[in-house]
Amino acid sequence: YRRVHAELTLGMGVTVCPRTVSVLMTLAGIYGLPGPVRIKRLRGVVTADDLVNRKFHRLAPNELWVTDITQHRTREGWLYCC
């Protein structure tokens, strides 16, 4: 309703309340498109150094061990996948 309200007031010069636009759109079954997904990035988070310089191939077994941890927020709290 925000974009429709802006188009009506700024583009067409129609004086209308944003709430009125929202109610009329709901009654008409008109819905706005969802906005882009925004990713919340943590500022100041220190990342680990790349100690192997992205060279994962080794000549023998057990020369290099790597791991990855992914976390997902759930209703019960954080879920950690290793």
Q: Using CA atoms, how far apart are residues 19 and 40, in angstroms rounded to an integer?
A: 29
Residue written as token pair 């944003």: 18
* Alpha carbon distance 14, 5 (integer Å): 9
Radius of gyration of the chain, Cα coordinates, nearest whole angstrom:
25
pTM score of the predicted model:
0.43
Q: Are the C-beta atoms of residues 72 and 78 closer than 8 Å to each other? A: yes
Looking at residue 17, its pLDDT comes to 95
- Tens digits of per-residue pLDDT, 19-59? 999 999 999 999 888 888 888 877 887 888 888 888 888 89
Whether the pLDDT of residue 18 is over 80: the answer is yes
Residues across the chain: 82
